[in-house]
Structure 1
Amino acid sequence: MTNSTVPNPFALTNETALITGGGSGLGYGIASCLVKAGAKVVLVGRRESVLSAAAEELGSQASYVTHDITEMERAAELVERSAEAAESSVSILINNAGVHLKKWAVDTSPHEFNTVLQTHVVAAHALTQAVLPGMLERRHGNVLFTASMTSFIGMSQVVAYSAAKSAYVGMVRSLTTEVADKGVRVNAIAPGWIESPMLEQALQGDPDRKARILQRTPMTKFGQQEDVGWAVVYLCSPAAKFLSGVVLPVDGGACVGF
């Protein structure tokens, strides 16, 4: 048996996380838990006022960079600016930013479908591509994607969102086969129904849908943002040093509920 020499295997001291969509919702919840675990965080988003307020609330370990991740040609610039803001290299990338589109498939235009894919999938790939060289050179890093229960189960009126989140599963698996032997781990979390502005938007004016969700969730409640945040801390920590290629549901049992 090998004894670990890490004093606290769940600590993220000396780690710096770039979190897209980090100023609010799940991104902020993830950032809060990472800070509590000892990491520096760089919040990325388009609204400076939101980012500034979030960084101030998180304290001295937090900074922010205003950026639109759909400007894929500027991904490397974002990584550089984030390293400058944190005064340290990015060792954790959280691909969390996204948009929600609630529409029946028959009413979803190709343009709308493509917009969702560009934000979730193509932009996440561009940023991952930009951050990987440094991680590979240092032989240390974690890339994490925020997937969804729609990566596993069918839900109506979210065909574009479901396609994007399902793509993350393939990206995680493929990336793992390329970089796992070079010190970089790639994983994803798949939040179930977590209390957030995006969930409120998805359930707005649809009480029947809310009831169905709770009925199929064995814990019969919505999750909290910190439930997702602590799962991220675990996957990025030394405690999970032998985990790569994992898509971890954080869903109160919904994925296996009946």
Structure 2
Amino acid sequence: MSKLDFQNAFSLKGETALITGGGSGLGLAMATSFCAAGAQVILVGRREQVVKNAATSLGPNAFAIAHDISECERASELMEKAEEVSGSKPSILVNNAGIHLKKLATETNPSEFEAVIQTHVIAAHSLVQAALPAMLEKQHGSILFMASMTSYIGMPKVVAYSAAKSAYVGMVRTLTSEVAEHGVRVNGIAPGWIQSPMLDQALGNDTVRRQKILSRTPMGKFGEPDDIGLAAVYLCSPAAKFVSGVVLPIDGGASIGF
């Protein structure tokens, strides 16, 4: 591969990425990396000022839309708004938005469980359904799901979250089997424990849980947000043109640690 080809292999120039939960945490980290790789990014979140501030910080190729993805009947409306603000239909969809619930299974009631599934799984499907037609028409696109260590290993007090993130693995595989031949790739990332507001919320002041995580992570440390951003760029770039149906752990070895 020539030097020029290598540089272009990781470029997202000409792509428009819609990132749910894009105003903070890992969503913003991915948006930052996507912008650096040349893409336009559309940050979607419920907190209007948060996504607006984040878009402003990223510059003229970033746009903000205040939207609640759990309102699944409005998924098509979101795609129309995305095209309106950016001038392009999304060619990359990142299903990143989610909510966390830390409770024992015996204390998690059906409505709480349903709320987690609604935000992570049902909403993500509605966005895929709304974004796919344009991708299939162009025979080009990339869909990325943010899975989790709980997709693969058992952890206490996250039964609803684990169920939702495990569902992402099945969605990645099924969607790939349906759309890969039409030029649309579907992959996932399973972040390990990455420094973020979500991690702080999950761990709180639980020192024992924090030490247990670090002790089973071969690298012995938490990851950084740009570890996820750079992996997302790879999976959505021409460098990964023959990669689909993969859920890539970015975890410092935690998923295979002892």
What is the CA–CA distance in structure 2 between the aligned matches of 1:86 and 1:221, rounded to whole Å?
38
TM-score, structure 2 normalization? 0.98
Question: Any idea what SS the aligned residue of 2:63 has?
Answer: strand
Amino acid at match of 1:41: V
Q: Which residue of 2 aligns with 1:194?
A: 194
- Structure 2 residue matching 1:155: 3-state secondary structure: coil
- The equivalent of 1:246 in structure 2 is 246
In the TM superposition, what is the alpha-carbon distance from 1:58 to its structure 2 partner?
Answer: 0.5
1:56 equivalent in structure 2: 56
User: 2:224 aligns to what?
Assistant: 224
- Is 2:95 aligned against 1:95? yes
Q: 1:4 Cα shift?
A: 9.2
Moved over 3 A (4+): 1-7
1:23-102 alignment to 2 at 5 Å? 23-102=23-102
In structure 1, C-alpha distance between the alignment counterparts of 2:179 and 2:254, rounded to whole Å = 31
Q: Please state how far the C-alpha of 1:84 moved relative to its aligned partner.
A: 1.2
Residue 164 of structure 1 aligns with an amino acid whose one-letter code is A
Deviation of the 1:251 alpha carbon: 0.3
One-letter code aligned to 1:52: K
Matched, 1:140 2:140: yes
TM superposition shift of 1:5: 5.5
Query: Aligned letter for 1:133?
Result: P
C-alpha separation in 1, matches of 2:84 and 2:230? 26
**What is the CA deviation profile of residues 37-90 of structure 1, one whole-angstrom value per residue up to 9, with x for unaligned ones?**
110000001111101110010011100111000110010110110111111121
Runs of 5+ consecutive residues of structure 2 not aligned to the other structure: none
Q: TM-score, normalised by structure 1?
A: 0.98
Name the CA distance, whole Å, in 1 between partners of 2:230 and 2:7.
Answer: 18
User: How far is the alpha carbon of 1:6 from its aligned partner?
Assistant: 6.9
2:154 is matched with which residue?
154
Residue aligning to 2:215: 215
Report the Cα distance in structure 2 between the residues aligned to 1:46 and 1:202, rounded to whole angstroms.
20
Q: Secondary structure at the match of 1:106?
A: helix
| Secondary structure, aligned partner of 1:218 | coil
Inter-partner Cα distance in structure 2 for 1:84 and 1:189 = 29
Seq. identity, %:
64
Give the secondary structure class of the aligned counterpart of 2:8: coil
In 2: Cα distance, 1:238 partner to 1:81 partner: 27
Cα root mean square deviation, aligned: 1.4
Paired AA for residue 165 in structure 1: K
- SS of the equivalent of 2:9 reads coil
Q: Once the 2 structures are TM-superposed, how far is the Cα of residue 98 of structure 1 from its aligned partner?
A: 0.1
Q: 1:8 offset after TM fit, Å?
A: 1.6
Cα distance change, pair 7–215 in 1 and its aligned pair in 2 (3 A):
closer
Q: Tell me the amino acid that sits aligned with residue 228 of structure 1.
A: I
Gaps of 5+ in 1: none
Structure 1: how far apart are the matches of 2:2 and 2:168?
Answer: 34
Residues 231 and 7 from structure 1, CA distance in 2 versus in 1: closer, same or farther, beyond 3 angstroms? closer
